[in-house]
């Protein structure tokens, strides 16, 4: 509980400094993950399309929608991981072995659901993906 609420007394400043350092480090790590995700998604979407079609046939609208879905998924997973880890620490559970299965399942569910919504959106605005073959 001391990580969430600083204790009263002279150690208050020290605990707050540790929390701010932890938050700054977590935010920097999250930014790096987001940048890596955008680059990874761009490489994946163009490489997969090129392998399937022999040329790049994706539209700008498709790529932007795909990136938006990937970013929404990643940000939700990062937020859920942050909440889950602190909750597990409070319950004296090991987050390394307990949180990973939940986050993996949540990532699969979110990814599939968001991709479905993205394809439904693209179909509704007549920008459905159409391979060359």
The whole domain housing 84 covers: 12-124
Q: Residue 98 domain-assigned?
A: yes
Structure tokens at 15: 């605990």
Structure tokens at 77: 């997973």
Structure tokens at 112: 């599939």
pTM of the model: 0.75
Q: Residue 133 domain-assigned?
A: no
Tens-digit pLDDT profile for residues 1-36? 444 444 555 454 444 455 555 556 677 888 888 899
Asked whether 67 and 43 are in contact (CB, 8 A), the reply is no
Cα 128 to Cα 57, 60, 119, 131, distances in angstroms: 12, 12, 7, 10
Q: Residue 18 domain-assigned?
A: yes
Tens-digit pLDDT profile for residues 48-99? 999 998 899 899 999 999 999 999 999 999 999 989 988 998 998 888 888 9
Structure tokens at 44: 């994946």
pLDDT at 5: 46
Q: Residue 130 domain-assigned?
A: no
Torsions phi, psi for 24 (to 5 deg): -65, -45
pLDDT at 104: 94
Q: Residue 106 domain-assigned?
A: yes
Q: Residue 3 domain-assigned?
A: no
Number of domains in the chain: 1
């Amino acid at each position: 509980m001391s990580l969430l609420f600083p204790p009263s007394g002279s150690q208050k400043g020290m605990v707050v400094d540790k929390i701010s350092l932890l938050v700054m480090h977590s935010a920097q790590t999250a930014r790096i993950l987001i940048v890596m995700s955008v680059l990874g998604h761009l490489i994946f979407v163009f490489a997969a399309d090129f392998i399937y079609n022999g040329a790049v046939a994706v539209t700008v609208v498709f790529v932007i929608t795909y990136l938006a879905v990937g970013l929404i998924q990643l940000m939700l997973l990062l937020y859920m991981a942050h909440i889950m880890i602190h909750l597990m620490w409070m319950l004296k559970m090991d987050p390394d072995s307990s949180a990973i299965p939940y986050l993996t399942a949540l990532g699969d569910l979110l990814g599939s659901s968001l991709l479905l919504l993205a394809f439904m959106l693209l179909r509704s605005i007549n920008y459905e993906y159409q391979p060359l073959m």
